[in-house]
Amino acid sequence: MTVTGSKGRRERLRAETTAEIKKVALALMASGGPDAITLRAIAREMGMTANAIYGYFATRDDLVTTLIKDVYTALADAVDAAWEAAPATDPAIRITAWATAFRTWAVVNAQGFRLIYGDPVPGYHAPEGGPAPDAARRVCTGLTALAAAAWPHTQHLYEHSAFGWSDFDPALLDKVRPAFPDLPPAAVALALRIWGHLHGLVSLEVYGHMHTQTTSPEKLFEEELAQLVQMLGVPRRS
């Protein structure tokens, strides 16, 4: 045991270098997009050679995968925090807060959004099960919380839903069902559909496709939220 930590000096330096690599990579991404994440550029920035990075990440794709996981986790943290900060007694406000946090994060961290949801980087292929299934499922669980909050008011619309538990990934259900024991499959389907709605508007905006059509994507998103709350039938201003 030392004052600087329990592990030896070597491991501490190693952890610091690893952190710096990621930090520099994210900075490059922020300024030049995911494409700008190159080993040589990172090394240049750090005053090293590109091959030195191989001591910390087995391959460039490994680094990118780690970055995706980190960035995705940051997104999940942001929306979770917004959800928790809103009053649990008012589903409409909570849902609006979650979705607004989602879009705000995406607009502020546009390159991070592209890293997570687009083709991250030339030639990158995600490892089995996606790069950040945990973070993705955290987001989905958050969405299910959203659907769960609205479910008492909206379930009457889905009495003829064709969904069963077998339609969903077991790993997702492992997280979702214990958290919301009374929720039927139709509610999870609703959560995924809401995800689609929000993701679509935001990704069109982030990738610049909305900008060609409308000058106020934010207003569009706000109307979307108003409609969402209305469609879900949750009471407003409770």
Partner DNA sequence: CAATTTACTTCACAGCGTATAGTTTCTTCA
Partner DNA sequence: TGAAGAAACTATACGCTGTGAAGTAAATTG
Q: Which residues bind DNA (CB under 7 A)?
A: 8-10, 13-14, 17, 37-41, 43, 47-52, 54-56, 59-61
Cβ closest to DNA, residue 40 vs residue 211: 40
CB atoms within 10 A of CB 103: 21
Locate 159 and state its tokens: 């009495």
Q: Alpha carbon of 129 to those of 122, 167, 213: distances in Å?
A: 20, 17, 35
Site pattern 161..200 for its own copies (x: CB under 8 A):
xxx--xxxx-xx----------------x--xx-xxxxxx
Identify the residue whose tokens are 């990118």. 64
Phi, psi of 180 (to 5 degrees): -135, 80
Helix axes 60-85, 91-108, angle to 10 degrees: 150
> Two tokens at 211?
């900008």
60 or 138, CB closer to DNA? Answer: 60
Token couple for 206? 């982030």
Q: Which does 17 bind (CB under 5 to 8 A by kind): DNA, its own copies, none?
A: DNA
Residues near its own copies (CB under 8 A) are 33-35, 114, 117-119, 121-123, 126, 129-130, 133, 136-137, 140, 157, 161-163, 166-169, 171-172, 189, 192-193, 195-201, 203-204, 207-210, 212-216, 219-220, 223-224, 227, 230-231
